[in-house]
């Protein structure tokens, strides 16, 4: 009851404050020398202006994707409030957290090349698997044209594991023919070659991208190599029908250097873990080869009704050397969706947008377990196992707008199933297990447009996240063939209020005209059955109740003199409300903080979640010499704990990056751009990521720290041909 009262009071305070300040800002907005185009998004499953969406949404435009290595999402999402992305060793393997969702994704089993709790979509095709895991193999940052980040819980629209949504588009922003070739090199053996091209033919817009990246790594045993290929076709079949065909493939191999103890980190942060386990001796690595074909079809029935559909298939062949076994996965991931949309004008002042749809994703395949001999696959088959998951969702949403006020009501039903079957297990009999989760998720949103450039909103949404496939293994005290009975889906309720503004101002503090983008949001998230990794992710259990309270600020000001500054600040307090752990789940190998005993972690901070993080970036592209661009970025991440007991501390850190680029036209259609960037200029020694709740063996210090890169650089040359 107190929570509800606090939420209502906050709404009234923010509503009153913003109305009072809105008129003041409105009076400063005059005719300017430049205006801002309406900003639209599609992460809400329909095309909407960002100021009309009652959710926290941020956009990374293509210009902010340039002059970067383009290897990991941490490089391009650092300026998004509420989003924390940490690279484990400087390659594509990252840990993504949005408002605490995904924080558990750091450990031996939980974050080698995958993330949790966050839904990632590329060109309308989900990269997130039915069980909630997301691999980054097919995510081509170099070929992306924009990235949208929906920071609010979106389970009512997207279903399982949608604590946030990262929506990536690879479709070029131009219809004119172009070709772009780029080569980069940098510290620790970083080399990347990229090619993008596009044109318009009788079939429609055709484009492709290719890149190949190799990286020796800074830490021992952290080499990686990634090749990606993408091709797309957007065709207008007739005046009312659009067809999209997207094909991609990737080959990605990376080695894992493992976490360090505090003593190892202090003495030599560059080393790999060699105590227990020995990551070098077993050559811990992942080698992923996969492809994807997706087709989208949009058809306008008439001016007010339309149908959109999508279908895809992703075949995968994955090899892993880890935990003293060599495993081969042969999987296929298929799915699709069908949506109906209706727009109606009820009166001159009232309109309606109705959305209804169905999603389905299915993944299945075999896993062959072999022994590991000197880091290579042994010849003896130890186990033959099948893993499958299916996610079926039905959703509906109605948005009614009256003048400047809009009300959104929606809900979703999800049925998520696991299928595990052991065909061979060292001579033991076969076992078949199945578990099904059902959940209805509601949504309620309210938005008021204060001015054409400003809006406030409030929303209440539910959320569901089931344990991922490799999180359902039971503790050692239980049979290894069953699905962990100690886990239930994470059920959450999110209360959120926010304010957005995109004004243009004729005179910004005496420096001339400017465009502003402001985003303020506060939220309260109550979660039941928070999924918690234990002993480095060997098994998972559920905390009774947790709570997250946070405030976010995002701002950008771009002035006519070419100077801009962007900031993103996040303040978040996360704690266990009810969390009791029993020694029933422990064994001689798996202990609780070094001893077998009952533990009460209620009121402790949630592991893996810093209390604050901040990014500030300044960029200058002088109006008198716009071929030159200079920028600098400061990133600060606060202290957090790596364990439930709040005994293992990850210290705060601040890093500074800076870059410069220059573009020189060679002819009317050819231009050459050179760029360089230095990361961690001050050579700060810091922990970039930590394994959550590492294994605690009696007499052995826990290994949980992954060191960030020291000062390093990259430089590149881009040759572009654009035909007007």
CA dist., res. 161 & res. 466, Å (int): 7
Report yes or no on whether pTM surpasses 0.85.
yes
**3-class secondary structure, 87:** strand
Check whether 351 has a pLDDT greater than 90: yes
Instruction: Tell whether the model's pLDDT for residue 3 goes beyond 60.
Output: no
3-state helix, strand, coil in the chain (%, to 5): 10, 55, 35
CA distance linking residue 277 with residue 587, whole number of Å: 19
Share of residues in the chain with pLDDT > 70 (%): 88
3-state SS, one letter per residue, for 645-668: CCCCEECCEEEEEEEEEEEEECCC
pLDDT of residue 431: 64
Considering only CA atoms, which of 619, 645, 664 is closest in space to residue 704? Answer: 645
pLDDT of residue 475: 62
Hey, CA dihedral for 599, 600, 603, 607, is it positive or negative?
positive
What share of the chain in percent tops pLDDT 90? Answer: 64
Mean pLDDT throughout 395-407?
A: 95
d(CA 579, CA 582): 10
Per-residue pLDDT for 203 more than 60? yes
Strand partners, 412: 395, 441
Q: Kindly report the number of other CB atoms within 10 A of residue 379's CB atom.
A: 7
Q: What letter would DSSP give residue 2?
A: H
The DSSP call for residue 428 is B
**What average pLDDT does the segment 686-713 reach?**
89
Which segment of 14-23, 285-294, 348-357 scores lowest on mean pLDDT? 14-23
345 burial (CB, 10 Å; 0-12 / 13-18 / 19+) is: exposed
Quick one: pLDDT at residue 29? 35
Classify residue 242 by burial, with Cβ atoms within 10 Å: 0-12, 13-18, 19+.
middle
DSSP state of 220: T
Identify which has the larger pLDDT, 700 or 38: 700
DSSP 588-627: SSS-BTTB---EE-TTSBPTT--SEEEEEEEEE--TT-TT
How far is Cα 485 from Cα 396, in angstroms, rounded to an integer? Answer: 32
Which has the higher per-residue pLDDT, 30 or 617? 617
Does residue 478 surpass a pLDDT of 80?
A: no
Give me 391's structure tokens: 């996610």
- Alpha-carbon span 139 to 77, nearest angstrom: 14
Mean pLDDT of 605-620: 95
Torsion sign (Cα): 89, 90, 94, 95: positive
Residue that the structure tokens 């970039």 belong to:
688
Number of domains forming the structure of the chain: 1
Are residues 469 and 131 in contact, defined by beta-carbon separation less than 8 angstroms?
yes
Q: With bands split at pLDDT 50, 70 and 90, how would you rate the model's confidence at 432? A: low
Inter-CA distances, 19 with 25, 502, 605, Å: 10, 16, 36
Q: Give the pLDDT band of residue 33 (cuts 50, 70, 90).
A: very low
Average pLDDT in the chain: 87
CB atoms within 10 A of CB 193: 16
> Where does the pLDDT of residue 192 fall: very low under 50, low under 70, confident under 90, or very high at 90 and above?
very high
State the average pLDDT over residues 321-327. Answer: 87
pLDDT of residue 544: 83
> DSSP letters along 376-420, please?
EEEEEEEEEEEEEEEEEEEEEEEEEEETTEEEEEEEEEEEEEEEE
- Vertex 299: Cα angle to 440 and 444 (nearest 5): 25
> Which CATH number goes with the domain that contains 148?
2.40.170.20
Residue 99: count other Cβ atoms within 10 Å of its Cβ: 31
pLDDT digits (tens, 9 = 90+) for 230-248: 999 999 999 999 999 999 9
d(CA 53, CA 372): 52
For residue 368, the model assigns a pLDDT of 94
Least confident range from 29-33, 65-69, 219-223, 230-234: namely 29-33
CA-to-CA distance for 279 and 281, rounded, in angstroms? 6
Distance CA(538)–CA(648), nearest Å, equals 18
Q: Is the pLDDT of residue 584 over 60?
A: no
Band the pLDDT of 36: cuts 50, 70, 90: very low
Cα–Cα distance for residue pair 121/125, rounded to 1 Å: 5
User: What CA–CA distance (Å, rounded) separates 42 from 298?
Assistant: 14
Please give the backbone phi and psi of residue 509, each rounded to the nearest 5 degrees, phi first: 40, 40
Whether 225 shows a pLDDT value over 80: the answer reads yes
Q: Which residues contact 595 (CB under 8 A, 6 or more apart)?
A: 698
Strand ranges, E, within 403-489: 405-425, 431-451, 454-465
Number of other CB atoms surrounding residue 451 within 10 Å: 15
Q: Quick one: residue 712, left, alpha or beta (phi over 0 = left, psi -120 to 50 = alpha)?
A: beta
- Residue range 120-160, pLDDT digits in tens: 999 999 999 998 889 999 999 988 999 999 999 999 999 99
- Cα 604 to chain centroid distance, Å, stands at 26
Distance CA 101, CA 165 (A): 11
What are the angstrom distances between the C-alpha of 603 and each of 103, 543, 600, 646, 673?
18, 12, 9, 11, 53
CB contact at 8 A, 648 and 694: yes
Mean pLDDT over residues 548-569, rounded?
Answer: 94
Supply the pLDDT for residue 110: 57
Q: β-strand 653-665 against 563-578: which pairing, if any?
A: unpaired
Q: What is the pLDDT of residues 56-108, one digit of tens each?
A: 999 999 889 888 898 989 999 999 999 999 888 888 888 899 999 988 876 66
561, pLDDT greater than 90: no
CB 290 within 8 A of CB 315: yes
The tokens describing 233, both together, are 């076709």
Structure token digits, residue 569: 């600040």
Task: Give the pLDDT score at 587.
Answer: 44
pLDDT in tens, 488-523: 889 999 999 999 999 988 877 777 788 999 999 999
CB atoms within 10 A of CB 549: 17
Residue 20's pLDDT is what? 35
Distance CA 25, CA 456 (A): 14
CB-CB contact of 386 with 423 (8 Å):
yes
Domain containing residue 98: 2-722
Work out whether the CA dihedral 256, 260, 266, 272 comes out positive or negative.
negative
- Do 251 and 289 meet the contact criterion of CB atoms below 8 Å apart? yes
Instruction: Check if the beta carbon of residue 253 is closer than 8 Å to that of residue 224.
Output: yes
Is the pLDDT at 609 greater than 50, yes or no? yes
User: Cα–Cα distance between 269 and 708 in angstroms, integer?
Assistant: 9
């Amino acid at each position: 009851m107190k929570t509800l009262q606090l939420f209502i009071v906050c709404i009234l305070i923010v509503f009153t404050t913003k109305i009072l300040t809105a008129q003041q800002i409105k009076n400063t907005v005059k005719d300017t020398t430049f205006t801002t185009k309406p900003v639209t998004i599609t992460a809400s499953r329909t095309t909407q202006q960002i100021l009309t969406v009652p959710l926290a949404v941020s956009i990374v435009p293509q210009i902010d994707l340039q002059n970067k290595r383009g290897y990991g999402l941490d490089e391009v999402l650092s300026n998004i409030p509420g989003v924390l992305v940490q690279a484990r060793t400087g390659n594509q393997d990252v840990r993504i957290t949005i408002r605490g969702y995904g924080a558990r994704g750091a450990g031996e089993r939980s974050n080698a090349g995958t993330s949790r709790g966050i839904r990632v979509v590329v060109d309308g095709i989900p990269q997130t698997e039915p069980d909630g895991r997301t691999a980054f193999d097919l995510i081509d940052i170099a070929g992306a044209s924009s990235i949208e980040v929906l920071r609010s819980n979106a389970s009512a629209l997207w279903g399982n594991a949608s604590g946030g949504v990262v929506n990536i588009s690879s479709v070029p922003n131009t219809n004119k023919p172009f070709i772009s070739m780029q080569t980069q090199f940098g510290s620790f053996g970083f080399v990347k070659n990229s090619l993008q091209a596009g044109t318009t033919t009788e079939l429609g817009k055709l484009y492709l991208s290719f890149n190949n990246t190799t990286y020796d790594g800074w830490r021992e045993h952290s080499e990686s190599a990634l090749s990606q290929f993408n091709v797309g076709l957007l065709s207008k079949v007739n005046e009312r029908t659009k067809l999209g065909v997207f094909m991609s493939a990737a080959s990605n191999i990376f080695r894992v250097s493992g976490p360090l103890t505090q003593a190892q980190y202090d003495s030599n942060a560059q080393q790999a873990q060699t105590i227990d386990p020995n990551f070098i001796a077993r050559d811990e690595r992942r080698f992923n080869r996969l492809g994807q074909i997706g087709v989208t079809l949009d058809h306008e029935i008439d001016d007010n009704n339309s149908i959109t559909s999508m279908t895809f298939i992703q075949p995968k062949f994955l090899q892993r050397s880890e935990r003293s076994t060599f495993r081969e996965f042969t999987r296929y991931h298929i799915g699709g969706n069908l949506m109906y949309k209706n727009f109606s004008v009820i009166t001159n002042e009232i309109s309606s947008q109705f959305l209804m749809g169905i999603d389905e994703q299915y993944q299945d395949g075999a896993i062959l377990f072999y022994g590991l001999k000197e880091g290579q696959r042994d010849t003896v088959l130890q186990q033959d196992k099948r893993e499958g998951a299916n996610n079926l969702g039905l959703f509906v949403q109605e948005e009614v707008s009256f003048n400047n006020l809009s009300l959104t009501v929606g809900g979703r039903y999800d049925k998520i199933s696991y299928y595990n079957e052991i065909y061979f297990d060292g001579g033991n009999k076969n076992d078949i297990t199945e578990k099904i989760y059902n959940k209805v998720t509601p949504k309620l949103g309210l938005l008021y447009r204060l001015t054409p450039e400003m809006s406030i909103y409030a929303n209440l949404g539910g959320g569901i996240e089931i344990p991922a496939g490799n999180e359902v293994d039971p503790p050692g005290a239980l049979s290894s063939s069953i699905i962990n009975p100690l886990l239930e889906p994470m059920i959450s309720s999110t209360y959120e209020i926010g304010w957005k503004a995109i004004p243009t101002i004729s005179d910004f503090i005496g420096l001339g005209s400017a465009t502003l983008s402001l985003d303020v949001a506060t939220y309260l998230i109550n979660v039941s059955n928070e999924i918690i990794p234990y002993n480095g992710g060997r098994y998972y259990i559920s905390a009774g109740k947790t709570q997250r309270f946070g405030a976010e600020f995002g701002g950008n000001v771009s002035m006519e003199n070419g100077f801009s500054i962007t900031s993103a600040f996040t303040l978040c307090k996360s704690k266990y409300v009810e969390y009791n752990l029993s020694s029933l789940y422990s064994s001689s190998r798996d202990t609780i903080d070094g001893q077998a005993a009952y533990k009460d972690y209620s009121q402790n901070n949630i592991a893996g979640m810093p209390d604050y993080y901040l990014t500030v970036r300044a960029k200058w592209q002088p109006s008198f010499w716009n071929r030159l661009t200079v920028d600098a970025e400061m990133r600060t991440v606060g202290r957090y704990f790596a364990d439930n007991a709040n005994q293992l501390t990850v210290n705060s850190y601040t890093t500074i990056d800076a870059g410069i680029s220059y573009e020189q036209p060679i002819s009317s259609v050819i231009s050459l751009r050179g760029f360089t960037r230095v990361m961690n200029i001050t050579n700060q020694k810091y922990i970039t990521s930590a394994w959550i709740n590492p294994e605690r063996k009696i007499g052995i210090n826990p290994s949980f720290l992954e060191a960030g890169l020291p000062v390093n650089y990259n430089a590149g040359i881009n040759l572009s041909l654009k035909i007007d």
